[in-house]
């Protein structure tokens, strides 16, 4: 049964927020013809999680805002139980519509390159960073550059935005590559012969001929984000 403190909000409520809609809930008033409380339309747990990601909020943040145990809310957002009408109203009030045109998107920061193993599908959900480019690819994620193998292009500490859906190799484009043993590297592709080229002030970094060992193209570098503190300083 729903609490009639929120009855007027629940009856035929269509959330102002673009993702969400609430169906009439079961009511304890004899004059009320509401049916059982369920969420309908596009208000699925994954929609709420996506909205939290877009606002750079966590499940804990939402749980605290609506006064619910975070584990209990997390169970609902993982599909382990249905959200009640009261809970939907509380979520709607927290995720009240903002000026959506000015909302900043975030993407997952999965790790570093060239060092370290990562599996993009397994690590989504950790730390996220904001991206302001509206044309950032839909499945993009970020990696942080470590080392100087590409320091003629970007310094160590630069954040790369990776497009995992763009794996076609084109001369002059830069890619993240994974070797058979799980090592990752960030290099420029060049043809004739096909090879991965470091762009470094350190001559110890060598070109890698394609075909010399099995590799997987993880994705193309879409954009760079760097801080002024990471840029090299001119010596007097």
Q: What pLDDT, in 10s, does the model give residues 20-36?
A: 444 444 444 444 444 43
Given phi > 0 = left and psi -120 to 50 = alpha, else beta, which region is 111?
A: left
What pLDDT is stored for residue 97 in this prediction? 60
Element (H, E) at 195: strand 195-197
Given phi > 0 = left and psi -120 to 50 = alpha, else beta, which region is 204?
A: alpha
What pLDDT is stored for residue 140 in this prediction? 92
Distance of CA 222 to the CA centre of its chain: 15
How many secondary structure helices (H) and strands (E) does the chain include? 6, 9
The more confidently predicted of residues 11 and 182 is: 182
The more confidently predicted of residues 114 and 174 is: 174
Which tens digit of pLDDT belongs to each residue from 105-159? 788 888 888 644 454 444 444 577 888 888 999 889 999 998 888 999 988 889 9
What pLDDT is stored for residue 171 in this prediction? 96
The more confidently predicted of residues 204 and 99 is: 204
Mean pLDDT of the chain: 75
Is 166 strand, coil or helix?
Answer: coil
What pLDDT is stored for residue 95 in this prediction? 77
Q: How do 208-209 and 195-197 pair as beta strands?
A: antiparallel
Max CA-CA distance within the chain? 85
Q: Do the Cβ atoms of 90 and 20 come closer than 8 Å?
A: no
Contacts 24+ apart (CB under 8 A), 118-122: 118/143, 118/184, 120/164, 120/218
């Amino acid at each position: 049964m729903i609490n009639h403190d929120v009855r007027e909000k629940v009856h035929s409520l269509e959330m102002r927020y673009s993702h969400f809609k609430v169906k009439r809930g079961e009511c304890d008033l004899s004059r009320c013809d509401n049916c059982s409380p369920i969420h309908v339309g596009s208000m699925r747990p994954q929609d709420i999680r996506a909205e939290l990601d877009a606002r750079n909020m966590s499940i804990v943040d939402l749980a605290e805002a609506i006064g619910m145990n975070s584990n209990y809310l997390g169970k609902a957002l993982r599909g382990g139980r249905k959200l009640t009408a009261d809970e939907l109203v509380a979520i709607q009030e927290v995720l009240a519509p903002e000026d959506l045109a000015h909302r900043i998107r975030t993407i997952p920061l999965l790790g570093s390159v060239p060092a370290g193993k990562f599996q993009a599908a397994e690590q989504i959900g950790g730390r996220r960073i904001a991206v302001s480019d509206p044309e950032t690819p839909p499945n993009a994620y970020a990696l942080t550059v470590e080392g100087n193998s590409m320091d003629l292009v970007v310094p160590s500490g630069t954040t790369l935005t990776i497009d995992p859906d763009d794996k076609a190799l084109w001369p002059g484009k830069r890619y993240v590559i994974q070797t058979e043993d799980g090592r990752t590297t960030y290099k420029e592709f060049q043809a004739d012969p096909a090879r991965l080229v470091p762009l470094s002030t350190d001559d110890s970094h060598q070109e890698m001929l394609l075909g010399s060992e099995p590799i997987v193209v993880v994705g193309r570098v879409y954009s760079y984000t760097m801080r002024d503190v990471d840029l090299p300083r001119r010596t007097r």
